[in-house]
Amino acid sequence: HYTAQLANGIVFEIYPSLEEEYLDPSRIGFKVNNFEEIFDSLSKNHAKILKLDKAIKYLVIEDPEGRKIELIG
């Protein structure tokens, strides 16, 4: 699973689903303050970027299990 501890002490975790579980087409989105830094890190780590508009600081990536994650700067 994936875990992140945010600056304010909140822990955010995402757990992989079992293969037999249904994955719905929804996505999760986050408003971020450090868009450029996150984009650079995703690019260096070869993240699958589905949509990108650097002018408005918007991107959608796909995680290894096909879930879509939206980031807005």
Backbone angles phi, psi at 37, to 5 degrees: -65, -45
Largest CA distance in the chain: 39
* pTM strictly above 0.75: no
Question: Would you state the pLDDT for residue 57?
Answer: 94
**Residue 28 · residue 60 · CB < 8 Å:** no
Question: Would you state the pLDDT for residue 52?
Answer: 96
Where residue 12 falls (left for φ over 0; alpha for ψ -120 to 50; beta otherwise) is beta
Reading the block at residue 12, the tokens are 């955010």
pLDDT in tens, 3-57: 888 877 777 877 776 666 666 667 788 888 899 999 999 999 999 999 999 999 9
